[in-house]
Structure 1
Amino acid sequence: MLTETLKKLFSRDLNKLKSEIEAYKIESNLWLINKEIANSAGNLCLHLIGNLNTYIGATLGGTSYIRNRELEFSLKDIPQQQLINMIDATITVVNDTLDKVTAEQIEGEYPLLVFQEKTSTEFFLVHLTTHLTYHLGQINYHRRLLDA
């Protein structure tokens, strides 16, 4: 079933996100930006956590998570270990939610209008995996470039 594939992909990439955040040799470098790099790794990490907790946890799983997208890009200097703990909590939320999602929900319309047109839940969940991977690549590049 698609949910098992999604769980594997989300777990794989969220664990990779955790190892990228752990790999920073200088913790403060998580928050560095440069003239060509507008978002720090820390802020991208917060953005991914907010994104998944909103669109999977709260919307599909009924958690009480309330997103403040603006803070995902403006907060600074959150300790590395706290980010890692937040990633671990997100892994749990994603897995617990996907365990409960039915085939009918997957095939049905996603409950929120996120894009200009309505989409299926299946489409939107696949989109979330690619969104995660996109920003994960940015974080990897940020670390190799600015944590040298």
Structure 2
Amino acid sequence: MNETSDPTTLGEAFVSESRRQLAESVALIRHCLGQLDDDEVWRRPRDDMNSIANLLLHLAGNLRQRFQAVISGDPDDRNRFGEFTERSAIPKADLLGRFEDSAGKADAALAKLAPEQLVETRRYMLLAGSEEKSVLGIVIQALTHLNGHAQEILHLTRMQLGDRYAFRQPGGVPPEMRTNRG
């Protein structure tokens, strides 16, 4: 068996890449929030759409449920309905703190995963009932969900800021090659 087909090496590589993906989504969300004020994070494009604040509450709840409750076995205290109906104008710093706390605990749960645990299954509640899924599948779903909402937050931020939006630059790009696009 060569190194790339070793399940332990493959499992370790999956966990490492999952942690990198989690950090990248958190960094994108942090970048967007750094450009918005408290009122802007609560602004809704339309009444039937989510604010960035509600998305942060939702992501914090989702990460907490998937990584702490489902994967790590902690009690599930999620209030999904409340994530979307909250309107109390919680300050941006508090929202970001809640989100980053959940993301940090998700990263810690990933760091503790042994490769053989990725094929174990867990049962958890969804809107349509309960489901049993592998830990690997739960991680993939949670990170895909996070990245989708991170892109939504990016879009909402750009819609609000227009030309004032400051683009992120990839690491290592020389100053003379930096643009306001990318």
User: What TM-score comes out, normalization by structure 1 length?
Assistant: 0.87
Q: Which residue of 2 aligns with 1:102?
A: 114
Q: State how many pairs are aligned.
A: 147
- Separation in 2, partners of 1:43, 1:98: 25
Runs of at least 4 residues of structure 1 off by over 3 A?
62-65, 113-118
The one of 136, 149, 152 equivalent to 1:138 is 152
Give 1:113 shift: 5.5
For residues 12-65 of structure 1, give each alpha carbon's deviation from its aligned partner in whole angstroms, at most 9, with x where no partner exists: 1112212222221x3201111133861111101111110000111122223445
Q: Is the CA contact (8 Å cut-off) linking 1:60 and 1:101 kept in structure 2?
A: no
* 1:10 correspondence with 2:28: no
- Separation in 1, partners of 2:44, 2:60: 20
* 1:91 correspondence with 2:91: no
Q: Is the CA contact (8 Å cut-off) linking 2:28 and 2:154 kept in structure 1?
A: no
Q: 1:30 to 1:121 in 2, by over 3 A?
A: same
How many percent of aligned residue pairs carry the same amino acid? 22
The one of 44, 47, 63 equivalent to 2:58 is 47
- Separation in 2, partners of 1:101, 1:28: 39
Q: How does 1:64-79 map to 2 (within 5 A)?
A: 64=75, 66-76=77-87, 77-79=89-91
Q: CA RMSD in A?
A: 2.1
Q: 1:113 to 1:62 in 2, by over 3 A?
A: closer
Comparing both structures, which one devotes a greater share of its residues to helix? 1
* SS class of match (2:123): coil
Q: Which residue of 1 aligns with 2:71?
A: 60
User: What TM-score comes out, normalization by structure 2 length?
Assistant: 0.72
Q: Is the CA contact (8 Å cut-off) linking 1:29 and 1:147 kept in structure 2?
A: no
One-letter code aligned to 1:132: L
- Whose relative contact order is higher, 1 or 2, with alpha carbons under 8 Å and at least 6 apart? 1
Comparing both structures, which one devotes a greater share of its residues to strand? 2
- Separation in 2, partners of 1:63, 1:11: 22
